């Protein structure tokens, strides 16, 4: 059982745009969460999903670019 917090960013386990938790959907029950997102046309969308369908979004870690030696002539590598 996943416990989400209002404002948390989630995605559907099957893949989706990033969505923001609005809160539990009281009309649907305790395990359903209302979410909202911006579609590719810039329009605000919203729906409710069962908590078993959602995963917390974790951004991928970027690999740090190698540091350049500023004192080294770039022609000589």
pLDDT, tens digit, 9 for 90 and up, residues 18-68: 999 999 987 776 689 999 999 999 999 999 999 999 999 988 887 776 666
Instruction: Delimit the domains of the chain by residue range.
Output: 9-56
Q: Could you give phi then psi for residue 42, rounded to 5 degrees?
A: 80, 15
Q: What are phi and psi of 52, to 5 degrees?
A: -70, -15
Within a 10 A sphere around the Cβ of 17, how many other Cβ atoms?
A: 12
Whether 74 shows a pLDDT value over 70: the answer reads no
Dihedral sign (CA 22, 4, 15, 29): negative
Reported pTM: 0.71
What pLDDT does residue 7 have?
Answer: 96
Report pLDDT for 13.
95
The pLDDT, as a whole number, for residue 2 is 60
Are the CB atoms for 37 and 17 separated by under 8 Å?
Answer: yes
Contact (Cβ atoms closer than 8 angstroms) between residue 1 and residue 31: yes
Instruction: Give dist(CA 60, CA 12) in Å, integer.
Output: 16
């Amino acid at each position: 059982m996943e416990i989400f917090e209002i404002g948390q960013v989630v995605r559907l386990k099957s893949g989706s745009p990033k969505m923001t938790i609005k809160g539990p959907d009281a009309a649907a029950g305790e395990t359903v969460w209302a979410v909202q997102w911006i579609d590719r046309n810039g329009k605000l969308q919203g729906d409710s999903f069962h908590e078993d369908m959602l995963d917390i979004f974790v951004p991928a870690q970027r690999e740090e670019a190698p540091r350049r030696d500023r004192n080294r002539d770039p022609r000589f590598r």
